[in-house]
Structure 1
Amino acid sequence: MSNRGKEILIWAILVIGLGAIVFGIYGAVAQPGEMNGDVSNLIAPITADDRTKGSEAAKAVFVEYSDFECPACGYFYGMIKKLEEEKGDAVRIAYRHFPLAQHRYARVTAQASEAAGAQGKFWEMHDILFEKQEEWSKSTSIQQNLLGYAMEIGLDVDQFLVDVQASDIDEKIDRNVAMGTAQKITGTPSFFLNGKLIQFRSYEELKQLVEVELSK
């Protein structure tokens, strides 16, 4: 093969490889739920065990199975936050833990969020974990990151250190995982609206799905 032919072949391989990477990112970020295989279309109803916000009388109930270290979950976080800000109590939002084994800090950050929840600040820790995901996910001292966040949101740090190791927190996370596994969820994020699996690629698509439910 001539040198010119070799150059063309190398560039062709690079282009194909880049296309595969872009497709992979698009699939992981833009298609929540779709990568999870045969996911059950009906979700377990919200219970007192769930972390929720919004009115219990809301006509639209939005449930997310998520992992704080999941990049796609971080991508969709902003959309869900905007939905909450725009719709307020008209939408009830629930967060369920589904830490993935390939994410080294997924479990400990789930534990940290629940330890914050024991002091009434689950959502504050939830928000800071997603907003600073890029920072702590690359950390070599995750405990220091989490202690810093605990102080930043005003937790009693001594109590936080006790609660983060509590067996009941581990058991709650395990219950969330078991619930998701029973519905054949294998990846994150997975979103449900009024009990049914949904997919959306943009905030406008999410908003339209919610408004359909609110209009019923």
Structure 2
Amino acid sequence: MAVKQSATSPMDIVKNNTVLVLVIGLALGGVIGHLWTKVQMLENGAAKVAGTTDTAQAQPQQPEEPKELKIKKPDPSTDHWMGPKDARYVHVEYSDFQCPYCKAYLPTFEKFKEDYADKMAFVYRHFPLSFHPLAQPSAEASECVADLGGGDAFWKFHDIVFQTMPDVKEADLPTLAAKAGVNEASFKECFGAKKFTSKVNDQAKEGESAGVNATPTSVIYDMQTGKTAVIAGAYPYEQAKQIVDPFIQL
């Protein structure tokens, strides 16, 4: 017996194909959605790890500032010294004439000179940084000024150079030396001969061997005990005073 088959119209075929496409589409959509979710989870996890790493890299631990440096004992006969020769405490600044932070520290230095004149002497030591092209020439120039005009001339030159920076050129140094009170021709002869290159280099090496690694670094030295306190940077006066006062009252 022959089985009777129902006739299939074109419209039925279209409907059946549409349903099939929808089913396949939904299945593929589910697979794609699942995979997309997995990718997002992995990316988010990686981003969190990267973010943690970036945060750690962006916030490195700061090295602890030195509490004490064993520098060479200050000596009024060899150092650039200002103040009482028998002072128990000496403010020794390792500095660079072209360093902007050293210039920024000047108001603190001046305030210390004003407020501690009867308790403290002040010493300047050279620590010219290699990436400051005028630091070494200025340091050698200051030694020529000291040699020709003495301590007062040195400190005048010190103030003039810092006040004029950063507009000083090497060609200006003879004029600045003359303003500090020394003969310009004699200065040029001394400076041209590089008479004090070794002295400047030796001071910098002494500071480096003691642990100085930046400018300005100011060391408060107790002449009786050899102990020191350190002002590492261009601290404002009130902040620097909080380092000095407890030390000199020990």
TM-score category (smaller protein): 0.7 to 0.9
- What is the CA distance between 1:95 and its match in structure 2? 0.8
Question: Match for residue 93 of structure 1?
Answer: 122
Q: Is residue 179 from structure 1 mapped to residue 209 from structure 2 by the alignment?
A: no
Question: Match for residue 132 of structure 1?
Answer: 164
Question: Match for residue 155 of structure 2?
Answer: 123
Question: Match for residue 191 of structure 2?
Answer: 164
The one of 31, 37, 46 aligned to 2:74: 46
The CA distance in 2 between the partners of 1:102 and 1:198, in whole Å, is 23
- What is the CA distance between 1:167 and its match in structure 2? 4.6
The one of 204, 207, 210 aligned to 2:244: 210
The CA distance in 2 between the partners of 1:183 and 1:36, in whole Å, is 16
The one of 77, 90, 93 aligned to 1:64: 93
SS across alignment from 1:164: helix
Question: Match for residue 197 of structure 1?
Answer: 230
Larger radius of gyration: 2
SS across alignment from 1:103: coil
The CA distance in 2 between the partners of 1:180 and 1:61, in whole Å, is 16
Q: Is residue 82 from structure 1 mapped to residue 116 from structure 2 by the alignment?
A: no
AA partner of residue 211 (structure 1): D
The CA distance in 1 between the partners of 2:185 and 2:72, in whole Å, is 35
Bigger RCO (CA 8 Å, 6+ sep): 1
Gaps of 5+ in 1: 1-19, 24-33
Q: 1:171 to 1:36 in 2, by over 3 A?
A: farther
The CA distance in 2 between the partners of 1:207 and 1:151, in whole Å, is 35
1:60-106 residue CA offsets vs partner (Å, 9 max, x unmatched): 21111110001111100121022112322421111110111100101
Gaps of 5+ in 2: 1-57, 222-227
- What is the CA distance between 1:213 and its match in structure 2? 4.0
CA RMSD of aligned residues (A): 2.6
Of the structure 1 ranges 204-213 and 76-85, higher mean CA displacement relative to structure 2 is found in 204-213
SS across alignment from 1:125: helix
Among the aligned pairs, what percent are the same residue? Answer: 29
